Structure 1
Amino acid sequence: MMTNLFSTFDPSTNFNLSLNWMSTFLGMIFIPMMFWLIPSRLNFMWNKIIMTLHNEFKILIGNNKIKGSTLIFISLFSFILFNNFVGLFPYIFTSTSHLILTLSLALPLWLSFMIYGWINNTMHMFAHLVPQGTPPILMPFMVCIETISNIIRPGTLGVRLAANMIAGHLLITLMGNTGPSLSLTMVNFLIIGQFLLLILESAVAIIQSYVFAVLSTLYSSEVN
């Protein structure tokens, strides 16, 4: 029972804790970051990366009719890059090293490109099956080769990303497991090798996310 009418405004009313003051931060959540936080150098660097990717993907797509079409590929690059880097930390699951995730990204993209291309640009898609300048006698074989190469595209996208992630993590794990059986001198060399391998894996994480996004952009540009 309340001892005072104004005790409802006491921050320690519930559970004898002052957690009610946490409601003050709820208002800050609804305020956009640009209004209360000065952009850091990290934000400027990330915006620079995004604008660079936007300009590059815009050139690759070559179709300015659809505004914002590069955003899906920038988001794809950011998602894969984040997952690749998170997986480099110890005891954290690397989701991009599994085909169930990489194929889940590649298959819907490729399928949507194919459906859009065959419905809206049917003759253009038929023309892609026969490269320009192909002799007439080789045209049936070129159609088969181009069809097979087109069908395996999502598989190559997914397997490339997963295989690169598995290879580096497996090598780091195998080198780390040999540590207890080595001498002190060899352990020092092992730590240096692990550090260099970690730097290499960081570069692979960036490169593979970039390759995945660029190839997806190139596949989308072929259906226009």
Structure 2
Amino acid sequence: MMNLFSSFDPSTNLNLSLNWLSTMLGLMIIPSMYWFFPSRLNILWMKILLTLHKEFKILINSEIKGNTLIFVSLFSLILFNNFLGLFPYIFTSTSHMILTLTLALPLWISFMMFGWINNTIHMFAHLIPQGTPPILMPFMVCIETISNLIRPGTLAIRLSANMIAGHLLMTLLGNTGPILSSYMMIILIITQILLLILESAVAIIQSYVFSVLSTLYSSEVI
């Protein structure tokens, strides 16, 4: 790596973008027996997915069966990629706007198309909050329209910025190791371990926030 940002370069090795294969690396790591025989890990993961399914079902508040599957799958994909990025020499694909926008933009466009085609009056009603004075209505329409248009951007930037910030902080602290004394090195290692725990929590929280916000956006158009 020639500079600090080389860890976020998808074409670092041999000038090929093979690092994007890390997006599906989680499926390769899981042993095949995981899918056939129940284990403690399998039961734990199923309990997590069932809890998410129940929560998303409440948020969407719709009778359509299987409507939470896409959001639970989205949570799983982002969580796998966030955790894999914490391992050394593995490319963090969720730190790139290409991947995060690829996840956020099609979801938002499909929600908007569904809402404006099937529930046009309902979508117009969302532009003006209840109880708005008549003189403020034009301004509220502009504000609500802008806030609606920037939703995919905020989803994508929130995820990628949180992934980049933690990784850069750990890299900056790690680069100071060779010039430190023994006592400072111990403090640095403890700090790095604490940062790694924090990044593990951020990996879970950001995948959950992304999927919950996508669920809330979909509930507005139904």
Relative to the length of structure 2, the TM-score reads: 0.84
Alignment partner, residue 45 of structure 1 = 44
Partner Cα distance (1:50, 1:209) in 2 = 13
Q: 1:33 to 1:141 in 2, by over 3 A?
A: closer
Is 1:139 aligned with 2:137? yes
Alignment partner, residue 83 of structure 1 = 81
Alignment partner, residue 220 of structure 1 = 218
User: How many angstroms does 1:40 deviate by?
Assistant: 1.1
Residue number among 88, 95, 98 corresponding to 1:97 in the alignment: 95
Alignment partner, residue 121 of structure 2 = 123
Q: 1:110 to 1:208 in 2, by over 3 A?
A: same
Letter in 2 for 1:130: I
Alignment partner, residue 204 of structure 1 = 202
Letter in 2 for 1:125: M
Partner Cα distance (1:164, 1:40) in 2 = 33
Q: How many aligned positions are there?
A: 191
Partner Cα distance (1:170, 1:221) in 2 = 36
Q: Which runs of 5+ in 2 are unaligned?
A: 1-31
Alignment partner, residue 57 of structure 2 = 58
Residue pair 2:79, 2:203 contacting (<8 A) in 1 also: yes
Letter in 2 for 1:97: S
Partner Cα distance (1:222, 1:97) in 2 = 28
Deviations 1:52-104 (A, max 9, x none): 0000000000011x110000000000000000000000011000001010001
Partner Cα distance (1:197, 1:70) in 2 = 33
Q: 1:32 to 1:209 in 2, by over 3 A?
A: closer
Greater C-alpha radius of gyration:
1
Alignment partner, residue 107 of structure 1 = 105
Q: Which runs of 5+ in 1 are unaligned?
A: 1-28
Fraction of identical pairs, as percent: 78
Relative to the length of structure 1, the TM-score reads: 0.84
Moved over 2 A (4+): 31-34
Partner Cα distance (2:197, 2:35) in 1 = 32
Alignment partner, residue 191 of structure 1 = 189
Q: 1:33 to 1:102 in 2, by over 3 A?
A: closer
Letter in 1 for 2:78: I
Partner Cα distance (2:145, 2:191) in 1 = 44
